[in-house]
Copies of this chain bind each other. A is one copy, B any other.
Amino acid sequence: MEGNASSSGSHPHVVILGGGFGGLAVARGLADTNARVTLIDRRNHHLFQPLLYQVATAGLSAPSIAAPLRQILRRQANVTVLMDEALDVDLAQRCVTLGHGTLGYDALVVATGATHAYFGHDDWERHAPGLKTLDDAFTIRRRVLLAFERAEREDDPAQRQAWLNFVVVGGGATGVELAGTLAEIARHTLPREFRRADPRRANVLLVEAGPRLLPAFAPELSEKARRQLEKLGVEVRLGTAVTRIDGQGVMLGDTPHAARTVLWAAGVAASPLGSRLGAPVDRAGRVLVEPDLSVPGHPEVFVIGDLASVTQPDGKPVPGVAPAAKQMGRHVAAALKARWQGKTSPPFRYRDDGSLATIGRMAAVAQFGRLKLSGLLAWWVWLVAHIAFLIGFRNRLVVMLDWAWAYWTYQRHARIVTGRDETATLPRDA
């Protein structure tokens, strides 16, 4: 693409990097303006990340939680969607270097999010996949399903049990969801289908280095989550650090634990683009933005979503969740519109609409200010909220159908192994 120069005056060019909840909210917020908007994403789809663990655990098919960005935005004529990768930003020249060409801007919104991080142990990645993209979800699905297949084919009892042992590292929302669902699959979905291995002998171990699960929730809900997980059959180990991960399992402090399947839900690191903006970043690489979400010294550049480090007036950080990213996106759209009308924009205020985490069948925790729920009621709230927020009527319908089906039959319809079996190439004793 040519060096698409930014225009000035009546048709400002707004470039949005990233089509997640934040970037999409900016684009939509500019629908009623005469701005030209270009949305860049490495992928062709917006992903409903809160349900990604369901794709990883074979409960939903990928298209149920993902929609092409250009389909979502097709009716908004002032938006051009380009599938490309943003490599660098030139703040002085006001242009973005893409994988294919450069793009000038009048205003830039960086919303490229975060990925999983291994705290300096990058070699753990091949043994313990994390969950951020659809491809990650397919990798986890393949490893989990193949583990049961290997167990069925294995004659040595110790090896068979190692294939039936699962470790989830990290007790945040993703770790809790993965562990609870794995236990449900082993106990309810698979038992009748195997003749030699017994899936009910699967052990799902959830390891958290901190003192409690779900640290974003009130302590009593963390405790309720732990008890609900144990009821589902998950073994929870708190205050336990994973010191090593390899093809044989994990090292918990000094104790080895054999497990051929390890899933990573422990750490996130901000997109590398954050460090290219000349602004201070925090330990996780998130950009310390101004109260209006702009980059210090560059009022025309904004950072939103998981890539932004924002502290509220009460001193609490804004959490890295979808509602916060959406609110930031709407804020930036409003701020741009105010500026174009010669007005000043107010600082960003995060409105906490509550937190929800699902744990498994009829088990969840929810917190709305002082109201705390757990168990069946929290699960219903979770279910309704997630179906309501899913983009597109059709997806909602299909997800409801899939869930109703799974609920009554204990079946999970997406139990399809595709792609390369990377465990086959791992040396057995690595």
B-binding residues in A (CB < 8 A): 1-2, 43-45, 61-64, 66-68, 70-71, 74-75, 80-84, 100-101, 134-135, 138, 145-146, 149, 152-155, 192-196, 394-395, 397-398, 401-402, 405, 411, 413-419
Find A1's partner among B61, B62, B153 (CB 8 Å cutoff).
Answer: B153
Q: Which residue of chain B has the shortest Cβ distance to A47 in the bound complex? A: B416
A357 to chain B, nearest CB (A): 26
> Given A100-B153, A152-B82, A415 and B1 touching (CB < 8 A)?
no
Q: Which residue of chain B has the shortest Cβ distance to A78 in the bound complex? A: B195
Question: Whole-angstrom distance between the alpha carbons of A1 and B107 in the complex?
Answer: 63
> Given A44-B145, A413-B394, A195 and B418 touching (CB < 8 A)?
no
Question: Which residues from chain B contact A138 at a C-beta distance below 8 Å?
Answer: 418
Question: Whole-angstrom distance between the alpha carbons of A84 and B195 in the complex?
Answer: 15
A415 lies within 8 A of B196 (CB): no
27 contacts between A and B (CB under 8 A): A1-B155, A44-B146, A45-B415, A61-B62, A62-B416, A63-B413, A63-B414, A63-B415, A66-B416, A67-B415, A68-B415, A68-B416, A70-B193, A75-B192, A81-B152, A82-B149, A83-B146, A83-B152, A83-B417, A84-B153, A134-B418, A394-B405, A395-B413, A398-B398, A398-B401, A398-B413, A419-B419
Most B CB contacts (10 A, CB to CB) among A71, A81, A418 go to A418
Most B CB contacts (10 A, CB to CB) among A2, A61, A138 go to A61
Most B CB contacts (10 A, CB to CB) among A63, A149, A415 go to A63
Question: Which residues from chain B contact A80 at a C-beta distance below 8 Å?
Answer: 195-196
B62 lies within 8 A of A418 (CB): yes
A48 to chain B, nearest CB (A): 12
Question: Whole-angstrom distance between the alpha carbons of A227 and B266 in the complex?
Answer: 58
